Amino acid sequence: MKITAIRFAKLKVPLVTPFKTALREVSYIEDLVVLIETDKGEIGYGAAASTPVITGDTHQSILSVIKQFIAPKLIGMEIENLNQICQVIQSSVVANYSAKAALELAVYDLWGKLYQAPLYKLLGGGSQTLRTDITISVDNIDKMLSDCAVVVAQGFDILKVKIGNDLQQDIERVKAIYQGFGQQTQIRLDVNQGWNAKQTVFALQQLESHNVELELVEQPVKSDDFKGLKYITERVNTPIMADESAFSPKQVIQLLEQNAVDIINIKVMKTGGLSRAIEIANITAQYQADCMIGCMLEGSIAVAGAAHLASAKAQQISKIDLDGPALGQYDPVQGGVEFNGPAITLSDGPGLGIKSIDTLQPINDGIWPL
Ligand code: MG
């Protein structure tokens, strides 16, 4: 099965409620979809979101880097040579992880179609069902509490609470949420780099002294502050997780060698696709460190790839944070991974299992070669 062309399209899904973190606010899931065509008529699907303040990638940068630098090298390559294709994708250009991830997802989808097997089975096999947490956006305490009540009523029992825009308010938010929902749910905090190391230790000591038990705290300090992460990890009992600090396998080795964090958050948009996400899961196994699998605010095409990986690597990836598609008002993707409240169900269709995508808007000059 040979790659013959690469096409691009947009896919936009309105959110149920606007998504707010310490870094941004958005009201749509907007994906750039990458379609890889083959000489056998099969199409591979990949996608990526625009995340300029996280990865530095935008739809325009993803599209142009693929068209200009990567696509010309992929045309004619055989899908059975998966590792070689991934090598070409990873080495054609530095950084640009979302572009690489979108392409790798489409290539792995085709790899599954070539061998007529769902991706999670080809990656080693695993469970067809996963359970995800749900994000609670940062807001005033009353709004956050009512958002928690809504999702708990929907059956979610793990809350990922976004904070990080005001230290004292953040502490009050977490105390109130723990008081209201700490008995029936597990609570994870995502600070999105909003605190410094000393503030984090202060906040967590305050919370620990009030018997607030958190499952983990994600990325409290700036992404390049490995020393800060280590400072925190040495001083608090709450497990600390790296997100924006952990893009590459090398960064993960550095973090774990320095005992800077307890947990690594893997996202295919940070690793540049599945091949290096698999590498990171294997590295963390050597350090007996846990992983979370996460996603950007993205739809069910890209998140399907993450779900298949989480299923196959369940021994390393014990925490699932794949709520992106569930935050949309509907899922235009038919036949792929199903996102239904906290339940994620992998289909047994080949590759990612996607049959069709409604409301896909082709991009006019979005085809290579023309
Ligand atoms: Mg995060």
Whole-angstrom distance, CA of residue 127 vs CA of residue 308: 9
At 93-103, the pLDDT tens digits run: 999 999 999 99
Band of residue 253 on the pLDDT scale cut at 50, 70, 90: very high
Averaged pLDDT for residues 43-70: 95
Between the CA of 20 and the centroid of ligand 1 the distance, in Å, is 12
Report in angstroms the alpha-carbon separations of 259 from 278, 299, 302, 344: 21, 34, 31, 32
Averaged pLDDT for residues 72-82: 97
115-118 contacts at long range (C-beta below 8 A, 24 or more positions apart) = 115/350, 116/350, 117/350, 118/308, 118/346, 118/347, 118/348, 118/349, 118/350, 118/351, 118/353
Averaged pLDDT for residues 220-238: 98
Q: Which pLDDT belongs to residue 60?
A: 95
Between the CA of 165 and the centroid of ligand 1 the distance, in Å, is 14
Between the CA of 156 and the centroid of ligand 1 the distance, in Å, is 19
Is a pLDDT exceeding 90 seen at residue 347?
yes
At 284-342, the pLDDT tens digits run: 999 999 999 999 999 999 999 999 999 999 999 999 999 999 989 999 999 999 999 99
How is residue 51 written in tokens? 């995340």
Averaged pLDDT for residues 137-151: 96
162 is catalytic: yes
Is a pLDDT exceeding 70 seen at residue 260?
yes
Average pLDDT, the chain: 96
Between the CA of 267 and the centroid of ligand 1 the distance, in Å, is 10
Between the CA of 81 and the centroid of ligand 1 the distance, in Å, is 33
Averaged pLDDT for residues 229-244: 98
Band of residue 368 on the pLDDT scale cut at 50, 70, 90: confident
What is this structure's pTM? Answer: 0.96
The secondary structure of 194-248 as a DSSP string is: -S-HHHHHHHHHHHHHTT---SEEE--S-TT-HHHHHHHHHH-SS-EEESTT--S
Q: Which pLDDT belongs to residue 365?
A: 76
For residues 205 and 174, the answer to whether their CB atoms sit within 8 Å is no
Is a pLDDT exceeding 90 seen at residue 275?
yes
How is residue 153 written in tokens? 């009523």
At 152-183, the pLDDT tens digits run: 999 999 999 999 989 999 999 999 999 999 99
Between the CA of 19 and the centroid of ligand 1 the distance, in Å, is 13
Averaged pLDDT for residues 114-142: 97
Is a pLDDT exceeding 90 seen at residue 353?
yes
Burial category of 32 from C-beta neighbours within 10 Å (exposed 0-12, middle 13-18, buried 19 and up): buried
Is a pLDDT exceeding 90 seen at residue 6?
yes
Would strands 43-49 and 25-38 be described as parallel, antiparallel, or unpaired?
A: antiparallel
Is a pLDDT exceeding 80 seen at residue 145?
yes
Q: Which pLDDT belongs to residue 321?
A: 98
Q: Report percent pLDDT > 70 for the chain.
A: 100
Between the CA of 343 and the centroid of ligand 1 the distance, in Å, is 21
Whole-angstrom distance, CA of residue 264 vs CA of residue 109: 25
**Closest C-alpha to 241, from 207, 204, 286:** 204
Q: Which pLDDT belongs to residue 153?
A: 97
Is a pLDDT exceeding 80 seen at residue 55?
yes
Q: Which pLDDT belongs to residue 262?
A: 98
Averaged pLDDT for residues 208-217: 97
Catalytic residue (choose from 20, 100, 121, 162): 162
Band of residue 249 on the pLDDT scale cut at 50, 70, 90: very high
Q: Which pLDDT belongs to residue 23?
A: 74
Whole-angstrom distance, CA of residue 43 vs CA of residue 233: 45
10 is catalytic: no
Band of residue 24 on the pLDDT scale cut at 50, 70, 90: confident
Is a pLDDT exceeding 80 seen at residue 366?
no
Band of residue 18 on the pLDDT scale cut at 50, 70, 90: confident
Q: What is the CA radius of gyration of the chain?
A: 20
Q: Which pLDDT belongs to residue 370?
A: 59
Averaged pLDDT for residues 13-40: 90
- Tally of residues, the chain: 370
Averaged pLDDT for residues 188-213: 97
How is residue 3 written in tokens? 């790659």
The secondary structure of 118-152 as a DSSP string is: BHHHHTT---SEEE--EEE----HHHHHHHHHHHH
Between the CA of 243 and the centroid of ligand 1 the distance, in Å, is 5
Catalytic residue (choose from 67, 113, 160, 267): 267
How is residue 54 written in tokens? 């996280």
